[in-house]
Amino acid sequence: MGAAVGCGLRWLASEVDAAIADVRSLARGTYPYVLTDYGLAAALAVAADAAPVSTTVVAEPRRRYAAGDREAMYFCCLEALQNASKHAGIAAAVRITMDERDDSVRFEVHDRERGSTSTLCWPA
């Protein structure tokens, strides 16, 4: 294979990788199918895997929430995760904790780098 062909193929591969990254980025900004199909804990785990910082999710929900509640909790946690990623830097480590009580659900998004915590309480 000639040098020009090899160079062209490397360029094409990088363009394909960039396009795939763009599509994934757009998909993350829309409603995630995992939230509907598998629930809140699974959707948060997928968001944690895609986060630019090391992220752990501790969530074992005992019930399934109404669609509107599920969406609101997910997107609030996602926003807190994005804020932690943005402000704490790439070396940050984030922990998302979900704790169910009799009449509410409590989420904490804690970034160990800056020591900041975002807390969300939601009526169940």
Q: What is the pTM of this model?
A: 0.69
Beta bridge partners, 86, equal none
pLDDT average, residue stretch 12-39: 78
Q: Is 39 among the domain residues?
A: yes
CA distances to 3, 10, 17 from 6, in Å: 5, 6, 16
Q: What is the CATH number of the domain that holds 93?
A: 3.30.565.10
Instruction: Return the pLDDT at 17.
Output: 82
Q: Is residue 3 situated within a structural domain?
A: no
**For residue range 34-93, what is the model confidence (pLDDT) as tens digits?**
898 898 999 999 999 988 889 999 988 888 888 888 888 898 888 888 888 887 776 778
Please check whether residue 102 lies inside any domain of the structure: yes
The answer to whether residue 41 is domain-embedded is yes
Is 72 inside a domain boundary?
yes
Q: Which domain holds residue 48?
A: 31-123
pLDDT confidence of residue 116? 64
Per the structure, how many domains does the chain have?
A: 1
pLDDT at 79: 87
For 98, the enclosing helix (H) or strand (E) is: strand 93-100
Q: Is residue 2 part of a domain?
A: no
Residue 91 lies in a domain: yes
